[in-house]
């Protein structure tokens, strides 16, 4: 008997982002005929899972769609015969992120979710779980695609491509789509008519061209930089200098402000640290308000406040990738995939963030060739850090992970990095049992 409808499994189903994902699936039901969605979480997330799961059921009921929503704390119960698995979890929840941000600050280091010390420890906690999920998928749903939204997406992708022996994986991020919407606004054209050419790494990519009707309109966007700046909810707004942008010749991801405006970003960060208003602390407060709203039995749609969480267009990214694979759309999207000569200045087999055609067989990247010299060095330096960190995780070697942090371009003192690392190891000990004693 032929299978009727698609089965989606979302690991980290109790996330505040889940209503965004459910909305995306509802909007695309005609092209994505989903029969069942399984929301998976762990015991510590049980209450949130039930709150979000009930909201998801109300949303599907309001849309009058025959989608069954299942909730479980057992990943292996959910995975059999899945078509797509999405991952959006946070090991240690937001309290772990608060430690990732506040502990580095004590040593004069900028704490951030995907960059520097915070990114190292989020990766140390996250990648072993991703490896476990893939191991289960190979056994229970070997033909399913894994669509990962969990940060640090670049390091997670690097780990999968280098060590998981699993090729049905795509890393996604909402930064490129936010940038594309910004370009759409500047040019006053529909976003789906633009083909921006991204190249680089997750949270470290640059737009080299923006094609509209086969014409590159990036120079026009750059000329408008004085009037229309782009930022995101989870990054402090700082204006790119018009002169710098003209010299750079390409448009950087907002996360590059952590490198090009390090002193200014560090000062803002330390101000937020002193006030107990780091991004993690603000997000925790937002999430508490969101879950109070989610509990309302009369709420049957995604609340507007969810956009403050920093996940704008998240569902559009994840759902668009899934739809394009299912329907073999061959449209252009920006994803994290494997380098195979597409960017000559980076190793083959490494993870890159790049514009691709999305097909039933996965992403086909555009060919970039050599990177412009003005962006090449930073990308290569961060890639070397990612490679070193992923080797450390695979080898279960915390000493090598400490070396990776010392090599990160946002580390300005190895003395401070060593102290921050040692304290973070103690703070996150319950989530680092995968690693051997050094």
Would you please indicate which residues are annotated as catalytic (active-site) residues? 255
Question: How many Cβ atoms from other residues are within 10 Å of residue 231's Cβ?
Answer: 15
150 neighbors 88 (Cβ within 8 angstroms)? yes
Return the DSSP state at 31: T
234 neighbors 310 (Cβ within 8 angstroms)? yes
86 neighbors 9 (Cβ within 8 angstroms)? yes
Alpha carbon 88 to chain centroid, angstroms: 8
| Structure tokens, 432 | 């680092």
334 pairs with which residues across the strands? 355
Instruction: Name the one residue in this structure whose structure tokens are 């889940």.
Output: 18
- Cα(125)–Cα(433) distance, integer angstroms: 9
Question: How many Cβ atoms from other residues are within 10 Å of residue 399's Cβ?
Answer: 12
| Structure tokens, 11 | 């690991």
Which residue in 15, 70, 10, 22 sits closest to 299, CA to CA? 22
Listed in sequence order, the residues at least 6 apart from 304 whose beta carbon sits closer than 8 Å to its beta carbon are none
| Structure tokens, 31 | 């092209």
Helix (H, G, I), strand (E, B) or coil at 28: coil
């Amino acid at each position: 008997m032929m299978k009727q409808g698609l089965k989606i499994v979302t690991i980290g189903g109790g996330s505040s982002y889940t209503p965004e994902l459910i909305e995306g699936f509802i909007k695309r039901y005609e092209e994505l005929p989903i029969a069942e969605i399984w929301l998976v979480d762990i015991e510590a997330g049980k209450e949130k899972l039930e709150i979000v799961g009930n909201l998801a059921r109300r949303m599907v009921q309001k849309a009058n769609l025959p989608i069954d929503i299942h909730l479980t704390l057992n990943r292996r119960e959910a995975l059999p015969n899945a078509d797509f698995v999405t991952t959006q979890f946070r090991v240690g929840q937001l309290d772990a992120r608060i430690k990732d941000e506040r502990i580095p600050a004590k040593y004069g280091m900028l704490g951030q979710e995907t960059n520097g010390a915070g990114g190292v420890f989020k990766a140390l906690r996250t990648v072993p779980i991703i490896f476990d999920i893939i191991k289960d998928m190979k056994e229970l749903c070997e033909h399913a695609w894994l669509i990962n939204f969990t940060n640090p997406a670049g390091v997670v992708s690097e780990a999968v491509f280098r060590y998981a022996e699993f090729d049905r994986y795509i890393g996604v991020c909402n930064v490129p789509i936010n940038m594309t919407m910004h370009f759409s606004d500047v040019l006053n054209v529909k976003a789906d008519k633009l083909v921006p050419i991204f190249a680089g790494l997750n949270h470290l990519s640059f737009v080299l061209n923006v094609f509209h009707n086969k014409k590159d309109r990036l120079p026009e966007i750059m000329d408008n930089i004085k009037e229309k700046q782009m930022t995101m909810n989870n990054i402090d707004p700082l204006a790119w200098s018009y002169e710098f942008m003209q010299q750079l010749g390409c448009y950087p991801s907002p996360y590059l402000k952590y490198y090009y405006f390090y002193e200014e970003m560090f000062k803002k960060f330390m101000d937020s640290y002193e006030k107990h208003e780091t991004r993690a602390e603000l997000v925790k407060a937002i999430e508490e308000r969101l879950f109070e709203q989610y509990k309302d039995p009369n709420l049957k749609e995604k609340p507007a406040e969810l956009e403050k969480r920093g996940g704008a267009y998240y569902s559009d990214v994840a759902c668009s990738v899934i739809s394009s694979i299912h329907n073999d759309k061959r449209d252009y999207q920006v994803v994290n995939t494997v380098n195979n000569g597409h960017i000559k200045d980076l190793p083959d087999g490494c993870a890159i963030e790049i514009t691709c055609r999305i097909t039933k067989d996965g992403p086909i990247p555009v060919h970039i060739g050599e990177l412009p010299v003005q962006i090449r060095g930073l990308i290569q330096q961060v890639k070397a850090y990612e490679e070193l960190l992923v080797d450390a995780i695979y080898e279960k070697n915390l000493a090598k992970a400490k070396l990776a942090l010392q090599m990160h371009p946002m580390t300005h003192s190895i003395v401070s990095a060593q102290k921050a690392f040692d304290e973070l190891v103690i703070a996150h000990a319950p989530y680092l049992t995968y690693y051997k004693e050094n």
